[in-house]
Structure 1
Amino acid sequence: MLEINCPYCGPRFETEFSYGGEAHIERPKDSENLSDEEWGDYVFMNSNTKGVFLERWVHTSGCRRWFNVARDTVTYEVLAVYETGSKPPKLDLRKDV
């Protein structure tokens, strides 16, 4: 089970959170004028990264606030947690051997 360090409440188990998809995806500004294909691309065509992935999470059983997580999708390791609207932290992705 993942332990996620909510930036507002501290460390909690993942069962208290809900996944919100890929982070840093900007909603189209003129969405009412998008074609069905363009809207479908926005909604469904996201990255499916193997490795470090930037995600949105919400603390549904706690403060109910949204935040971002940098997580390795291979190892499930949470590398960083940061507030929505902030830039992702620079991560040293080198693994010591």
Structure 2
Amino acid sequence: MTGNEIIERIATAQGKSKAETKLIVDAVFTEIAEAAASGHEVSINGFGKFATKRTAERQGLNPATKEPITIQAATKIGFKPAKALKDKVNG
């Protein structure tokens, strides 16, 4: 499902215009992204939790040349689904 499909389904279900719904959906995702970028956990009841995790710099191998390389430290974002979402997905 694409972002536009989500917007269209919400707009239809709520009797709102697609333009109005797009503003709201975009605002929700912007807030989630900004909170994650600043290191905050975002927990949505019944849906799940978005959290960032810092990975350390480490050594790896270039798969083409087998030469050792340094993989830079990074911040990754993860999602842990809530039990309600897991139950819905698993029937």
**Both structures adopt the same fold (TM-score exceeding 0.5):** no
Higher RCO (CA-CA < 8 Å; seq separation 6+) = 1
Structure with the largest fraction of helix? 2
Structure with the largest fraction of strand? 1
* Rg comparison, structure with higher value: 2
Q: TM-score, length-normalised on structure 2?
A: 0.29
Q: TM-score, length-normalised on structure 1?
A: 0.28
